[in-house]
Amino acid sequence: MGDIERFIKERRSIRQWKKQEVPDELLKKAVELATWAPNGGNYQGWRFIIVKNKEVIEKVANTVQSVSDKIASWPEAVSWQEEVKRYQKNASFFRNAPACIGVFTGDYQSPMDRVLVARESFDPEAKEILGFRRSAPTAIQSAAAAVTTMLLVFHGMGLGAVWLVSPIQAKKEIEAILKVPSNMNLICLVAVGYPDERPQRDRKPVDQVLEFVY
């Protein structure tokens, strides 16, 4: 356990990178290993787009920044001004990443989903159960497992990456820039490069978040 524990605890989200390029083979290997993550029904409905083109990364970052600026400018933002400002300031730092990976997924329907969808219009119980399933979508959980695996692989390669969900605010624009097929949905971006920082971060003691049922 010692090595695994150290490895897991050493990984950090990295937001500053050296200019050094990341070889395609490393990026491809990380995506390949990510696809070995557990996933619903082994359906593997995920897709990955690796962007190394500086101008494309810049374009994606600009669109994310402009949506964040818009949200921050709305009058409702005043109630959470400081936090909103912080999010706005950090919205597009990934423009400096040597590579960005778009993670996408299609809709996954298990056989149970199909039964529930067929009944939801006339059976309130089926509708409620479908609601439970939709509150924790299998496709998104599967993509999250892949991203977690990818981040650990990058860490093992001496690379530093960060999982970015805030770009989802510019989902429509990013999918257009990357020419993503309409049946695929952006889940997140992963920005990656050789780390140029060594951030420290803690976790809550496990007893605060864990309970056993005997």
Ligand X SMILES: Cc1cc2nc3c(=O)[nH]c(=O)nc-3n(C[C@H](O)[C@H](O)[C@H](O)COP(=O)(O)O)c2cc1C
Site residues (vs ligand X, CB under 6 A): 12-13, 90, 162-166, 201
User: Based on CB atoms, which residue is closest to ligand X, 86 or 114?
Assistant: 86
According to DSSP, residue 180 is labeled: -
* Kind of pairing between the strands at 160-164 and 46-51: unpaired
User: Based on CB atoms, which residue is closest to ligand X, 112 or 165?
Assistant: 165
Q: Shortest approach of ligand X to residue 168 CB, angstroms?
A: 8
User: Based on CB atoms, which residue is closest to ligand X, 13 or 16?
Assistant: 13
Neighbouring CB atoms inside 10 A of 113's CB total: 17
CA–CA separation, 65 and 132 (whole Å): 34
User: Based on CB atoms, which residue is closest to ligand X, 31 or 188?
Assistant: 188
Choose among 145, 150, 146, 142: nearest CA to 106: 142
Q: Shortest approach of ligand X to residue 127 CB, angstroms?
A: 28
Amino acid found at 91: A
Q: Shortest approach of ligand X to residue 91 CB, angstroms?
A: 8
User: Based on CB atoms, which residue is closest to ligand X, 43 or 93?
Assistant: 93
Angstrom distances, CA of residue 200 to CA of 7, 19, 64, 88: 14, 22, 27, 23
Q: Shortest approach of ligand X to residue 199 CB, angstroms?
A: 6
Q: Shortest approach of ligand X to residue 35 CB, angstroms?
A: 19
Q: Identify the sign of the CA torsion 64, 65, 69, 70.
A: negative
